Amino acid sequence: MLGKKDKKYWRKKALEATKLEEWNNLLLFGQKMIELNPNDYDGWATQGDAQYNLGNFDLALTFYKKTIQINKTDILSWQNLGHTLKNLNKFKDAIKCYNIALDLNPLDRFHNNGRLRDSLIECEKLLK
């Protein structure tokens, strides 16, 4: 059985909160993961996801950057960093993040390269 001092417990709670779109709870669960391990990139990404969905793009940006600082190969965080930058109208930076995510995900492990490429094309058009 998972206990409150186990990252998996909080990760499970975070996944449940995401499904229910309970963003404030997601924020709390990400914080718990970070409290257990300050270098837990998944906890930082969870914080970023919560802030993004709450519309706090500047805060989401901070959390996703921390995630990538800890784990430079976290594909979803590169993608989410790109989405956040796009929402902040920082299209050149978003394009860089999308390209990194695509480079890290050549086999489309997350089955989202189509959406990612659409976001990339959208940012390129907005730059013109």
Model confidence pLDDT, tens digit, residues 23-42:
999 999 999 999 999 999 99
Pair 52, 78 in one domain: no
Q: Which of 37, 52, 71 is the last residue of a domain?
A: 71
Pair 47, 105 in one domain: no
Reduced DSSP (H G I as helix, E B as strand, rest coil) percent helix, strand, coil of the chain, to 5: 75, 0, 25
Pair 2, 56 in one domain: yes
Pair 23, 60 in one domain: yes
Pair 60, 77 in one domain: no
Beta-carbon contacts of 76 under 8 Å, excluding residues fewer than 6 positions away, are 45, 101, 110
Pair 83, 121 in one domain: yes
pLDDT on residue 1: 42
The per-residue pLDDT for range 67-116, each reduced to its tens digit, is 999 999 999 999 999 999 999 999 999 999 999 998 887 766 555 666 77
- Asked if pLDDT for residue 2 goes beyond 80, the answer is no
Per-residue burial over 72-108, b if 16 or more Cβ lie within 10 Å, else e, is eebbbbbbbbbbbbbeeebbebbbbbbebbbeebeee
Pair 57, 99 in one domain: no
- pTM score of the predicted model: 0.85
pLDDT on residue 123: 81
Predicted confidence band of residue 125 (pLDDT cuts 50, 70, 90): confident
Q: Which of 33, 49, 71 is the last residue of a domain?
A: 71
